[in-house]
Chains A and B, each alone.
Chain A
Amino acid sequence: MDWILILSTAFWSGWAALGFGILFNVPPRTLFALWIGGAIGVLIKLTLLQFSVSVVLASFIGASAVGMLSIPIAHKRHVPPMIFAIPAVIPLIPGVFAYRTMLGLIKLTGTIGADYNLILSETINNAAKTLFIIMSLAIGVAIPMHVMRKESAKNIRL
């Protein structure tokens, strides 16, 4: 994967975050920040994948970056951090792994053939990746608030 592809993927991920922001009816003043946030999360994840970091850890670091970014944006745009953070991590959601898990589960309902064990291990692998990536996204988003141990982003001084 070359850098142009990474950058254009980040560009399109920004649009994915923006689209979900509009679906969730975020205030218009946060839309541009959302585009940037979605792009940055994916940029960090893909860059880390280039250095052969595991996909779970890369997603976690990407989501944490979005979570950290959500606090200054909460201050600037006067919105709760989660308004920015949730749509911005959506491009990091492992859609392909989830899709393959589902497809694998459907195949597992068939008769037991020669490749049943292979399908079983592939399905479990995809399911585990999906679960752990989604968990790391949620934790990454929640971390800034918990690390700073404040009830509201308003009390966090930067």
Chain B
Amino acid sequence: MEQEKIIEAKELGSLLLDVGVSLLSSGASCSRIRITMRRLATAYHYDAHISIAPKSISLTLNVEKEYVIFNGMRSTPSQGVNFKTISGISRLSWEAVENELSIHQVRDKLNALLALPHYPRIIILTFVSLAGAGFCFSFGGKLLEMIIAFGATFCGLFIRQEAIKRKFNPYFCVFFGSLTASMFAGAFIKAGLNINFEHAFATSVLFLIPGVPLINSFTDLIDGNILNGIVRGVNALMFSMAIAFGLLVTMIIYNLN
């Protein structure tokens, strides 16, 4: 009996840590990670104590609020924002509670969820470029500038994806994306086309803005996870600096002012 309990706790602990690190690396806020892990632990009558560091999660499971039965820690895999994982895990945690799934069933469903594909690459490239064109219009761009923003975003995102594939430092990936996009947009300005400099240039790099870290940073700060909030904020700032640096290099190369 005692032995079975320990094995169950180990399986649950490992499952919870996997859920936690998947959420953390997909861009969930700290309170969401905590709530989801606790919800699952409570469903199996354990008491979970969780500590979330910027790149790892530690977990202790207690039985009946008395003794510790599981101790563990896991570091996050490097992976980009993935909202499909977050919404899938949220659904899964409710399903586990409501239908009283076994730990093995939840584990199988989690693995299936993590294996779900992204959108096809060409769809991502096209729609993000369309978003770039949309941004350009909302900042006052005309048709020609929108087309340039579309092309710049397409090239920039393509280069960034390639850089990520080759496992460059993430800030360098953003720098390469920003450099490519602004070089593309700058070429039209340099060619003497009669376009608004600011609209074409500023909107060509907007697809790189670290929107998820920025908003999560403030969400964490409001929830009192100050340390995680600061880490995410500084991370977002670093990405912004990488964008700025790419623009700066383009301006130096093209001698634009």
Q: How many B residues have CB within 8 A of the partner chain?
A: 53
A20 touches B218 (CB 8 A): no
B135 touches A83 (CB 8 A): no
B35 touches A13 (CB 8 A): no
**Known contacts A16-B135, A142-B219: does B211 contact A93 (CB below 8 Å)?**
yes
A-binding segment of B8-16, B45-53, B70-78, B83-91: B83-91
Which of A13, A99, A135 is in CB contact (< 8 Å) with B218? A135
Which residues of chain A are within 8 angstroms of B134 by Cβ–Cβ distance? 12-16, 19, 91
Q: How many A residues have CB within 8 A of the partner chain?
A: 49
Which residues of chain A are within 8 angstroms of B218 by Cβ–Cβ distance? 134-135, 138-139, 142
Interface positions, chain B 228-257, Cβ under 8 Å from A, are 240, 243-244, 247-248, 251
**Known contacts A20-B128, A22-B124: does B198 contact A96 (CB below 8 Å)?**
yes
Among B132, B201, B214, chain A packs the most CB atoms within 10 A around the CB of B214
Q: Is the interface of B mostly helix, strand, loop or mixed?
A: helix
Is A157 an interface residue when CB atoms closer than 8 A count as contact? no
Nearest B residue to A93, CB-CB: B209
Give CA–CA (A79, B201) in the complex, Å: 35
Interface positions, chain A 74-126, Cβ under 8 Å from B, are 78-80, 82-83, 86-87, 89-91, 93, 95-96, 98-99, 102, 105-106
Which residues of chain B are within 8 angstroms of A26 by Cβ–Cβ distance? 83-84, 87
Nearest A residue to B132, CB-CB: A19
Q: Closest CB of chain B to A1's CB: distance in Å?
A: 10
Is B25 an interface residue when CB atoms closer than 8 A count as contact? no
B82 touches A25 (CB 8 A): yes
Is A42 an interface residue when CB atoms closer than 8 A count as contact? yes
Which residues of chain A are within 8 angstroms of B251 by Cβ–Cβ distance? 106
Query: What's the A-B contact tally at a CB cutoff of 8 Å?
Result: 146
Which residues of chain A are within 8 angstroms of B207 by Cβ–Cβ distance? 19-20, 23
A12 touches B84 (CB 8 A): no
Give CA–CA (A151, B34) in the complex, Å: 10
Is A54 an interface residue when CB atoms closer than 8 A count as contact? no
Is A40 an interface residue when CB atoms closer than 8 A count as contact? no
Which residues of chain A are within 8 angstroms of B203 by Cβ–Cβ distance? 95
Q: Closest CB of chain A to B190's CB: distance in Å?
A: 18
**Other contacts beyond A80-B32, A80-B86, A137-B215: 17, CB < 8 A:** A9-B138, A12-B133, A12-B138, A18-B130, A19-B129, A20-B211, A23-B81, A27-B88, A89-B215, A90-B209, A90-B211, A102-B240, A105-B244, A138-B215, A138-B219, A138-B222, A142-B222
By a beta-carbon cutoff of 8 Å, the part of chain A in contact with chain B is: 8-9, 12-27, 30, 42, 78-80, 82-83, 86-87, 89-91, 93, 95-96, 98-99, 102, 105-106, 134-135, 137-139, 141-142, 146, 151-152, 154
7 shortest A-B CB distances, which residue pairs? A19-B131, A138-B218, A99-B202, A16-B134, A12-B134, A15-B134, A12-B137
